């Protein structure tokens, strides 16, 4: 199967500091790929290179079969991008934002109007089409960004921190929108600081691709781990024993939850100890030595 997104030995250097360091990665058609890492790990720079906003210092990147350095216009026609920063024009209406984007992509009428109606309804903004964006809530603005990114029907959607700063209910609704797009066959690359967001959206059980949705963990510009969450838990341990030491907790991984319980039962002093299944955040901290900022 040919990769939709492919990076081969990609590096990006600012001054003398490598921000992305020899990164190689393939994302397959129909996959949701979750890219995790602490601040400064190189995630946003990677997204910027993939979306033609900055050139790699070394290496080769292809998106939807096009070389990002040599064929940036063809790449832009195949991708939708939702950046962390709010990029919609607040002094225009919802419809005017969509209309402007459609014209920029040279979508002809009446197809353009049909697509605007389709995607505004998909993100539940059909009844707000004539409202100025400045009157919308943060969650509505984010949904408008997603609708706009989908207007030209891209093959690949890049989501950089799509739910940052949103309330839990709005985040959950956006998860359902993203999940629905993937189930329709769209390839999605997601960066986020919310562990539960990755665990839900990169759940291998609902991937539209033959390959399960995967997670990549970056640190200091390098990809340090790659796989599905079940693979991570099998590798690092499915059971966890936590022991309180002063104002912090020590974690000890075990191959299974049963092994963790057996160890716990053998301890003569169980005060300040607990057993639970491991999760993505536990594994992330184990790999990077710190939590996401």
Of 150, 149, 188, nearest in space to 4 by CA: 188
| 61 vs 251: CA distance, rounded Å | 39
Burial class (CB in 10 A: 0-12, 13-18, 19+), 21: middle
Whether 150 and 119 have beta carbons less than 8 Å apart is answered as yes
**CATH, domain 5-233, list 3.30.930.10, 3.40.50.300, 1.25.10.10, 3.40.50.1970:** 3.40.50.300
| Highest mean pLDDT, choosing among 151-155, 242-246, 269-273 | 151-155
pLDDT tens profile 188-244: 999 988 899 999 999 865 555 567 899 999 999 999 999 999 999 999 999 999 999
pLDDT tens profile 122-148: 999 999 999 999 999 999 999 999 999
pLDDT at 293: 46
| 212 vs 137: CA distance, rounded Å | 34
Whether 120 and 129 have beta carbons less than 8 Å apart is answered as yes
| 239 vs 23: CA distance, rounded Å | 31
| 138 vs 170: CA distance, rounded Å | 9
pLDDT at 236: 95
Q: Can you give the pTM of this predicted structure?
A: 0.90
Q: pLDDT grade, residue 87 (50/70/90)?
A: confident
Q: pLDDT grade, residue 291 (50/70/90)?
A: low
Share of residues in the chain with pLDDT > 70 (%): 96
pLDDT at 207: 53
- Going 25 to 19 to 171 to 136, the CA torsion angle's sign is negative
Three-state SS at 163: coil
Across the beta sheet with 5-14, the strand order is 17-27, 5-14, 58-63, 66-67
Whose tokens are 């962390």? That residue is 84
Whether 174 and 162 have beta carbons less than 8 Å apart is answered as yes
| Domain ranges, ordered by start, for the chain | 5-233, 238-277
Give yes or no for residue 39 having a pLDDT over 90. no
């Amino acid at each position: 199967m040919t990769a939709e997104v492919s990076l081969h030995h990609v590096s990006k250097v600012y001054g003398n500091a490598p921000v992305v360091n020899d990164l190689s990665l393939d994302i397959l058609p129909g996959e949701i790929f979750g890219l995790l890492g602490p601040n400064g790990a190189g995630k946003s720079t990677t997204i910027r290179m993939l979306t033609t906003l900055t050139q790699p210092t070394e290496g080769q990147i292809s998106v939807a079969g096009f070389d990002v350095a040599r064929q940036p216009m063809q790449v832009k026609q195949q991708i939708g991008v939702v950046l962390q920063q709010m990029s919609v024009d607040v002094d225009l209406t919802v419809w005017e934002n969509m209309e402007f984007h459609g014209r920029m992509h040279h979508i002809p009428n009446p197809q353009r109007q049909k697509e605007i109606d389709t995607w505004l309804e998909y993100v539940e903004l059909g009844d707000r089409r004539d409202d100025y964006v400045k009157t919308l809530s943060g969650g509505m603005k984010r949904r408008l960004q997603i609708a706009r990114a989908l207007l030209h029907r891209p093959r690949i959607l890049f989501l950089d921190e799509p739910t940052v700063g949103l309330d839990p209910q709005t985040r959950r609704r956006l998860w359902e929108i993203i999940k629905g797009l993937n189930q329709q066959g769209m390839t999605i690359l997601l960066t986020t600081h919310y562990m539960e967001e990755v665990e839900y959206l990169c759940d291998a059980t609902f991937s539209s691709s033959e390959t399960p949705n995967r997670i990549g963990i970056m640190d200091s510009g390098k990809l340090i781990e790659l796989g599905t969450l079940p693979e991570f838990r099998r590798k690092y341990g499915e059971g966890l024993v936590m022991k309180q030491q002063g104002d912090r907790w020590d974690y000890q991984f075990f191959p299974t939850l049963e092994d963790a319980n057996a160890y716990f039962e053998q301890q003569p002093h169980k005060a300040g100890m607990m057993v639970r299944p491991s999760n993505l955040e536990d594994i992330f901290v184990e790999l990077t030595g710190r939590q996401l900022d």
